[in-house]
Structure 1
């Protein structure tokens, strides 16, 4: 059974390939959803097996090499099942 989570990542996460690397990480874990920039961070909506989502959360706590993650806001939610892949929203 799938779970869903909304993750807000704060810190130096713009201009460091955070969204693209998040997409690659999510796809390797079999997660669907999207990632997009917010004015002061990055938002991730992700659906998949809970263990895969927990791995994505752990990855987000560090991010790619150039990022400096200062905080995560994680909210579990009901999966909607409407995502077919994992996309970067611009």
Structure 2
């Protein structure tokens, strides 16, 4: 699955700046890319659970919001092979979506 170029570029830029794949960005331009860390609808428990899923898959812990519907959220992470990992959360339970 290909990823939007803007997501790949943001992740690659952070890595090039020495931030590594574990960085979390907090800039006004990043907000345009739906960063989960800046979305107030994502609770800390959901965010941490989704980051754990990304870390287990060895993907970036920099998460993007694809959709939110009540207690359900679909997040995304960029993996080292430039694919996108989809993470499905129901409350604070998250898993990789296949």
Identify the TM-score tier after normalising by the shorter chain: 0.3 to 0.5
User: Where is the strand percentage greater, Structure 1 or Structure 2?
Assistant: 1
Ranked by relative contact order (alpha carbons within 8 Å, sequence separation 6 or more), the top structure is 1
User: Where is the helix percentage greater, Structure 1 or Structure 2?
Assistant: 2
